[in-house]
Structure 1
Amino acid sequence: MNPQILVEICTEKMPFGKYKGVTIADLPVSYLEWFNSKGMPAGKLGMQLSTIYEIKLNGLTELLIPIKKRVRG
């Protein structure tokens, strides 16, 4: 996995939908589960959503804390 994807997840925002404007890392699991059941979007956004879904599903959100601190100040 490319470590840059973790930085992107902590900085980029959801471009559409109910959670438009929310940082991808901060999307609720229920929303990610919905996408997982319906099919993730194609391309980069789908990869980002799939990655954060797996991180949250496996209880690994602590891995993002240092990245969030670094990129958010």
Structure 2
Amino acid sequence: MEIRPDSKQLLELVHYRMPFGKFKGRYLVDLPLPYLVWFRQKGFPKGKLGDYLNTMLTIKDNNLEPIIRKLQKDFPRQST
């Protein structure tokens, strides 16, 4: 069985911005780790945002932020 990541979804995560609160407008990768941990303790929002916050917490916990930053640089968000 081969696992293939969804590149479209990954690039959406890379460019996703926090839609509300104290860190509104920041890329999820730029959110402080304690904020993501707080969300985990309180419960992530339902839907895409919650999934992305949970994924970003895993990325930060495993020191994979440089990969996200490289993807931001190599695949800039296309203006629509």
TM-score bucket (shorter structure)? 0.7 to 0.9
Q: 1:18 aligns with which of 22, 27, 46?
A: 22
Greater gyration radius: 2
* Residue 5 of structure 1, CA deviation: 3.1
**How many equivalent pairs are there?**
72
The alignment-based identity, stated in percent, is: 43
Q: Which has the higher helix share?
A: 1
| Structure 2 unaligned spans of 5+ | none
**Structure 2 length-normalised TM:** 0.78
Using the size of structure 1 for normalisation, the TM-score is 0.85
Cα RMSD (Å): 1.5
1:5-57 deviation per Cα after TM superposition (whole angstroms, max 9, x unaligned): 33122212111111111111211111101001100000000010000000001
